[in-house]
Chain A
Amino acid sequence: MPYIEVLGQKIEVDEDGFIQDPSIWTPELAKELAKMEEVPEMTEDHWKVVNYIRDYYLKHGIAPMIRKLCKDTGFSLKQIYELFPTGPAKGACKIAGLPKPTGCV
């Protein structure tokens, strides 16, 4: 299993860089994951999206529907892609510490 090094700690990730244990997520770890997703710096807007996804996941155990994510954060899909070039599912959700989505996505 591959690892990434964050703040001197070894973190287990899968081949696509998704963390294996969502419960170990921290904001510091998110910043490191962001760098892998073409997000060099986490701005306030980035945090708004990531925190929303994170909270939704902790509450419901799934990623929010993309339309709902847009509505509740006030960003259009286009803006989300500008913030997270690798997309909401594989970029933003990954930074928020969610497992890689499965199925027809």
Chain B
Amino acid sequence: MPLVDGLNQPVKAGPKEFEGLHLVPVPDEEKPAEALKWLDYYRKERRSLVMAMESCVKCGLCAEHCHTYLGTKDPNNIPAGRADLMRKVYKRYFTVQGKLFGKLVGAEEISMRTLEEWFSYYYQCTECRRCGHVCPFGIDTCEVTMIGRQILYNIGMIPKLHAATDVAILRTGNHMALTPSGIVDTLDFLSDEIEEERGFRIEFPVDKPNSDILYVPSSADFFLNPDTLKGAAEFFEYIGANWTISTRITEAGNFGYLSDQTRVQRELVNRVWEEVARLGVKKVVWGECGHGWRAAKMYIPTMSDYPTRMRVPITHILDEVAAYIKAGKLKLNPKNNFRAQGLPVTLHDPCNYARACGLVENLRVDLYASVTEVREMNPNREKTFCCGGGSGVLFDDPEMYQLRIKFSQKKADMIRATGAKVLCAPCSICKAQFHAMIPEHKLDVKLYGLIDLVGAALDFKGHRQV
């Protein structure tokens, strides 16, 4: 879209998406009052919000740590500035000084303009938590963004991309509205590819009852990332796992987490437990997706209202691989890695793994064992910069797309500086963003996930098939 009142905004959801979400949007004239009610609700519900609202001293430290500010120089993209868009309203209605002195203390009445600003800037934050990592007060602007987005969702201001994806979640249990027949056909095609590459076939079991492991891949892998699916199959085959993919929860991500952390997010959470019960699963293994792993790890065990006693463990495939490597149970041959092909590889630490899930060292255990040369980015690990597409800001309307290029400038510079020829990005949104941004920044790299590179290094000699 369009500039709305001079603000960059993604296209908003319309009647078709509202129908799919069974939502009746609040009429514009009532939106400010309704939003205020929700803000009041969330300040009582989430004390981290009150902390963020009350304690910022405007020290400015967060500014240069946010890739969206670095790329745009827009003061509203300084994390403290982004939070101020909500803080000024909070002050006006929920603090004594604000009520008495208004504008003098930076307090402001809520209006439609305020909400349009929220819509613009809460969908320019990629929820990467880099600000939270550096703020001396521990203010996590990501939390403010999440609450801002939730309030906007509640009153019916949702980006079309997020709303349409949410509709797909409710309808199909995945972001891309994959169908069972499409899933099976795609996996069959990948089995053919494996057979061509390796001389033997690896099947992808689908909806197989009595499976020990339920593997939850990202739906985007079925369109964009064939090697991520193949890498996972190669690993499961290698360890002789009794595994399956489910057509009812073919989604490692959770756009609900990025737009509606209530009903939509819970839909995918419940589907996991339903499928655990239906397929008799003993362990759920999660595929490559940054925000999705954060949502899975932190919410699935506690958020579900699905009455089941089968609360089985949920692990990440890259942690699984690391455990096998550490136990000496995987024979990996970096020299034969037919995907990395001996080229230098650099690792993009997905923010959500690094700053919200503690998945940092195991990525390295997996990667260093699988390829011949790794060139670390600077900064990396918990100091990683976002790819610029985080939290699903994968908008393609021209203004927002230009912003994505700016948001990823910092990362592009870091990748280029390594001189690597392979970019390993073990997150689905990162992959989607890089697929588009590699050409935009004229980077000379091939893109893979991490399980892709592990799978390609697995030495199957002596294996039951070879």
Contact = CB atoms under 8 A, between A and B. Distances in A.
B394 A104 contact: yes
B165 A103 contact: yes
A85 B431 CA distance: 20
B465 to A, nearest CB: 23
Interface string B156-190: 00001100110110000011111101100110010
Nearest to B229: A65
A61 B79 CA distance: 42
B58 to A, nearest CB: 35
B288 to A, nearest CB: 11
A16 B222 CA distance: 23
B419 interface: no
A65 B223 contact: yes
Contacts, number: 88
B175 A102 contact: yes
Interface string A78-105: 0000000000011000000001111111
Contacts of A104: 175, 218-220, 224, 253, 289, 392, 394, 428-429, 431-432
Contacts of B174: 103
B239 to A, nearest CB: 25
A102 B186 contact: no
Interface string A56-84: 00011111111110010000000000000
Contact of A62 (B179, B226, B253, B396): B179
Given A103-B175, A104-B392, A105-B394, A62 B14 contact: no
Given A62-B182, A90-B396, A102 B189 contact: no
A61 B223 contact: no
Contacts of B186: 64-65, 68
Contact of A103 (B168, B179, B226, B396): B168
A103 B185 contact: no
B189 A16 contact: no
Interface in B4-19: 11, 14-16
A51 interface: no
A103 B167 CA distance: 11
A68 to B, nearest CB: 5
15 contacts: A14-B14, A61-B182, A62-B176, A62-B179, A65-B226, A67-B226, A68-B189, A89-B223, A99-B177, A100-B164, A102-B168, A102-B176, A103-B165, A104-B224, A104-B432
Given A62-B177, A68-B189, A104-B224, 18 more contacts: A15-B397, A60-B179, A60-B181, A60-B182, A60-B185, A65-B186, A65-B222, A90-B396, A101-B176, A102-B176, A103-B168, A103-B176, A104-B253, A104-B289, A104-B432, A105-B220, A105-B223, A105-B394
